[in-house]
Amino acid sequence: MSGPSHGCTVPPEIRADDATGDAITEPRINDRIRVPEVRLVGPEGEQVGIVPIGEALRLAQDSELDLVEVAPMARPPVVKLMDYGKFKYEAAQKARETRRNQTQTVIKEMRLRLKIDPHDYETKKGHVVRFLKQGDKVKVTIMFRGREQSRPEMGMRLLQRLASDVEELGFVESTPRQDGRNMVMVMAPHRTAAQKKQAAASEAGQAGTSN
């Protein structure tokens, strides 16, 4: 009966090398696999079955592929026929691309008083506009003082007004809600701003790798 299917993902293993006792961080390949028998998986993921290690190494040599240990803790260990050099190269390329395309989610915070004067409101709104243009999310907090806590509808109206004033740049991702003595709302930039930020990060990553 054949075991479960194993893909081509090779987990990094930290173990002591059988011969030297030194710690190694890559899977064992080819003649570094020192066990009497293995469960062999073909290059397309097909199950070959349990075979002597000598036969598995011969098949790898005949196929001009590497024999890579993908599940060292299994009994017997699971090995796969693959071009290990090509696999490592493609995995490294994919990891670099993933890092390049990742953008850190930044949440800025803007605090407003319930009875904010017009000038302060415009200043705070300007900051929200700038954050959204940069592709950042904004957590807007209304801080209630004293008896203001009995008028949550006023905080709701203020947040709705702000959302309406900047709707061309962002949308309400998290609707206004009470948070202790405060009321909070989270706004997120429209995709165009977020995409520009991601593109800038990608260009910076490419510039870094080219240097």
pLDDT digits (tens, 9 = 90+) for 77-100: 999 999 999 988 988 888 888 777
**Residue 53, pLDDT score:** 95
For domain 107-195, the CATH architecture is 2-Layer Sandwich (3.30)
pLDDT digits (tens, 9 = 90+) for 116-172: 999 999 999 999 999 999 989 999 999 999 888 888 999 999 999 999 999 999 999
Predicted confidence (pLDDT) at residue 188 exceeds the cutoff of 90: yes
Nearest to 143 by CA among 118, 180, 171, 117: 180
Task: Answer whether the bond into residue 43 is a cis peptide, omega within 30°.
Answer: no
Nearest to 70 by CA among 5, 18, 20, 1: 5
**pLDDT higher for 108 or 17?**
108
Domain ranges within the chain, ordered by starting residue: 15-85, 107-195
- CB atoms near residue 114 (< 10 Å): 17
DSSP structure class, residue 204: H
CATH, range 15-85 = 3.10.20.80
DSSP structure class, residue 77: P
Predicted confidence (pLDDT) at residue 75 exceeds the cutoff of 90: yes
Q: What residues are paired with 81 via a beta bridge?
A: 67
Predicted confidence (pLDDT) at residue 20 exceeds the cutoff of 50: no
**Residue 207, pLDDT score:** 55
0.75 exceeded by pTM: no
